[in-house]
Structure 1
Amino acid sequence: MSAAHIATIARLELTQRLRSVGWYILLGVFALLLVGITALAFMVYSWGDAIGAGVYSIIVNVVLLLVVLVSPTLSGNAINGDREAATLAAIQVTAASTGDIMLGKLLAAIATGGAFLLVALPFLAIGLLGGGANALVLLVSLLILAVEIVIVATIGVGLSGIIARPLFSVAATYLVVAALTIGTLIVFGLGGAALRSEATSYSRPYDTNGEVDCDEWETYTYEVPRFDRVWWALAANPFVVLADATPTEFNDDGYPVDMFGQIKFGVRAAQQSPVEQRWDECAGDYGDMRTPEEVMQGTVPSWFVGLGIQILIAGGLFAGAWSRTRTPARRLPPGTRIA
């Protein structure tokens, strides 16, 4: 492989995109959306002391959302689009190797996804003016966001090399990304609702004088969904990976100050078993009164597992596309255009 060949292929790919007026319109629409979202974010977090941290977290999540929505269209036809236009064969007969072609296409797809992050940088800077942001939070969140951009681009390029038709590969890329984002939520919601158990609530009864009877217990049984058995389904969700990996900042009451922490708390709280609730007024125990900070300290992170699953999926698809693009090809799908 040659770095010069990879750069040349990436530059050719980007040149084709930069010639399109629609690409600039898309970035302009994204910038306008960020204007409105930034204004709303300042209104949402106006009550806190760490306004900048909250606004920053919303903008980063919006950038990830746009990458998830747009990147499959930009990367899902990277290879088979050239094959259909009869330009891939012309590149394959040059000195560029299969690895040069694959990595060049991937680099261009990553660059197009990273363009959304570049557009968002001024808005991230504006959000930080509100104060309360932590340098470690900035570093980790941007790093995870960059990794997610690479993963989504790799999935698109991989499927574009495996599937012969551009339309089908773009659709398949959307399906894979949707499975990671929406599908994990569906599995979590339906799985938790389906796996129901009997829960018991314990409380002290009151006597005829309205006083608490500390010598007796009153029990009440009911059915509850068992989200604690399916919380792992959320591990591979890109937004959960981003939130769970980012260090959480808390206010003085132990509550998260940004969206990263709020998403993380929701996932971590789902790990708690709901089968027993105890309210003991005699002992001053009023159930689970732990703060989100205490809940997170007593639960386990899952972002590295989810990130590993994403890398395996993206890497497997990319390896399959590499094998399918290698020349000379022993077998191609019926109807595949060569030159």
Structure 2
Amino acid sequence: MNGARLWTIARLELTQRVRTVAWYVLLGIFALLLIGVTLLSFLAFGGWGTGGAGVFSAVVYVTLLLVLLVSPTLSGNSINGDRDAATLAPLQVTLATTGEILLGKFLAACITGLAFAAVAVPFLVIATLAGGVNGWAVVTSLVVLVVEVGIVAAIGVAISGILARPLFSVAVTYLIVAALSVGSVIGFGLVSTAAGSEFTSKNRSAEYNSNGEIVCKDGGHDCYGDTDQMVCGEWDSYTYRVPRPDRVWWLLSSNPFVILADATPTSFDRHGNPDDLFGWIKTAVRGAQSAPELQSTWDECDPQYLDGAEYRSGPTPEEIIATTVPSWFVGLGVQVLLAALLLWWAWTRTRTPARTLPPGTRIA
């Protein structure tokens, strides 16, 4: 592996990207989008001095979203685009190895994706200066963001080396990214519903007359609260199916947005609520690990109901996160393994001398 050849390949790839006006227009549109997101986030999270953490998380999420939307287009035709333009074969007969070609184009795709993160830096600084931002949350979220940029870039470059047609490789890259980010959520919802359980609800109310007055055993109407005198109705029972997210919560572990939220340390207010989007998404995903109750009872004639002891609020987000297990490292490992396998496949398809080529492949 030669560093000079590696950087030459990456530099040539970058030159082709940045010399077009459309590239700078895209970065400008992203900057305008971040201005709007930052202003709206300050309004949503309480303004200067209190909403810095929320604004920071919103900007990071928008940056990740745009990288997922744009990176497949920029990296999904890196290799087969050169093959289609008859510039790959001259590169393959140089001293550059197949691994250097792949890694050089991967490096260029990473730098291209990180350009969007660079545009977001001023807005991240503003959010940090606004106060309330956890230092470890800043470091962790940015590291995860950079890793996700690299994974998406690797998938795009690999698919461009596996498939012969640039259009198909870009489409397949989008499908893989969509499967990780959107498909995982849809699959989670469908499978958790299909794997549901029966929920039984039992209810009993006190008897009331036509005037809305409670019926008492002694014939009076002032016995509410006296369970010995209240006349109770019959028990009603209802059964229906409820989803079981606790059985399939792991389907969300490879979602890029979930990985970002689950890996980022969370800060809480005095009520145990997160102060940023990372924490709220983490709470929702971690809460899916807990099995739902499959039976509920409501009895108006029960003293526990009358004094309110039967009913209590659920756990706070802080308690949910503290009593569940993180899954970000599993999801990140799955993504890295997927990208590595695809790159290996691309290497076998791109190495020279090639025994066979897809029909219609242009080589010169």
TM range (shorter): over 0.9
How much has 1:288 moved relative to structure 2?
A: 5.3
The alignment of Structure 1 onto Structure 2 pairs a total of residues equal to: 338
Cα distance between partner residues in 2 of 1:63 and 1:232: 25
Partner of 2:360: 335
What are the Cα deviations for residues 88-140 of structure 1, in whole angstroms up to 9, with x where unaligned? Answer: 11111111111111110000000000000000000111111221001100010
Cα displacement (A) at 1:269: 1.3
Partner of 1:6: 6
Q: Distance in 1 between matches of 2:226 and 2:88?
A: 80
Q: TM-score normalized by structure 1?
A: 0.94
Q: Give SS of 1:199's match.
A: strand
Q: Is the 8 A contact 2:48 2:130 kept in 1?
A: no
Does the Cα contact within 8 Å between 1:11 and 1:108 map onto a contact in 2? yes
* TM-score normalised by structure 2 residue count: 0.87
Q: How many Å separate the matches in 1 of 2:190 and 2:296?
A: 23
Q: Point out where structure 1 has 5 or more consecutive residues left out of the alignment.
A: none
- The answer to whether the 8 A contact 1:226-1:273 is kept is yes
**Map 1:103-114 → 2, pairs under 5 A:** 103-114=103-114
The answer to whether 1:149 aligns with 2:149 is yes
Query: Structure 1 126/118 Cα, relative in aligned 2: closer, same or farther at 3 Å?
Result: same
**Contact 2:51–2:132 (Cα < 8 Å) also in 1:** yes
Q: What is the CA-CA distance between 1:308 and the residue it aligns to?
A: 1.1
Kindly report the root-mean-square deviation, in angstroms, between the aligned alpha carbons of the 2 structures. 2.2
Identity of aligned residues (%): 58
- Please tell me the residue identity of whatever aligns with 1:240: V
Distance 2:226 2:360 in 1: 80
Q: CA deviation at 1:222?
A: 3.2
Largest Rg, 1 or 2: 2
Query: How much has 1:321 moved relative to structure 2?
Result: 0.5
Aligned to 1:247: 265
For 1:294, give the aligned amino acid. E
Aligned residues of 1:265 and 1:296 also touching (Cα < 8 A) = yes
Aligned to 2:239: 222
1:79 counterpart SS class: helix
Structure 2: 5+ residue runs without aligned partners? 208-215, 217-222, 299-303
> Residue in 2 aligned with 1:266?
284
| 1:241-293 superposed Cα distances (whole Å, 9 cap, x missing partner) | 00001111110000001000010011111122222446754683425521111
Q: 1:212 to 1:313 in 2, by over 3 A?
A: farther
Q: Is the 8 A contact 2:72 2:152 kept in 1?
A: yes
* Pairing of 1:120-199 with structure 2 (within 5 A): 120-199=120-199
Matches of 2:311 and 2:5, distance apart in 1: 66
Matching residue's letter, 1:211: G
Change (3 A) 1:239 1:327: same
Task: Measure, in 2, the Cα distance between the counterparts of 1:48 and 1:270.
Answer: 33
Aligned counterparts of 1:219 and 1:273: Cα–Cα separation in 2: 25
Shift of 1:310: 0.8
Per the TM alignment, residue 50 of structure 1 is displaced from its structure 2 partner at its CA by 3.6
Q: Which is worse superposed, 26-35 or 225-234?
A: 225-234
